[in-house]
């Protein structure tokens, strides 16, 4: 199995600036509704099948969770399901929020 690529907050910001990226939030709906990265798609059991069918697999995909642990498993899952360039956000949304939302 391919190693999951971890991406730092700064690398993620650069990726988002430079490329068309699919951003996947795997937290629960309440957390997503409270705050999320711009243009992130909430993906859970309810919409996973549709997401897998309808999302281009040839553009980069960055997934995040609360603290960067569950998103590693999600990234592995997306790789196994045909996505070619998958990243897991180090530190998850907590790190993103600390870096960008509380300034």
Any idea which residues carry the catalytic annotation? 65
Q: Residue 30 class from Cβ within 10 Å (0-12 exposed, 13-18 middle, 19+ buried)?
A: exposed
State the maximum Cα–Cα separation within the chain, in Å, rounded to a whole number: 39
């Amino acid at each position: 199995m391919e190693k999951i690529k971890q991406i730092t907050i700064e690398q993620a910001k650069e990726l988002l600036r430079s490329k068309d990226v699919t951003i996947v939030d795997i937290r629960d709906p309440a957390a997503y509704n409270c705050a999320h990265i711009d243009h992130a798609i909430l993906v859970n059991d309810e919409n996973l099948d549709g997401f897998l069918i309808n999302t281009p697999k040839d553009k980069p995909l960055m997934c995040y969770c609360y603290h960067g642990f569950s998103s590693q498993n999600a990234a592995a899952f997306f790789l196994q399901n045909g996505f070619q360039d998958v990243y897991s956000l180090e530190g998850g949304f907590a790190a993103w929020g600390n870096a960008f939302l509380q300034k």
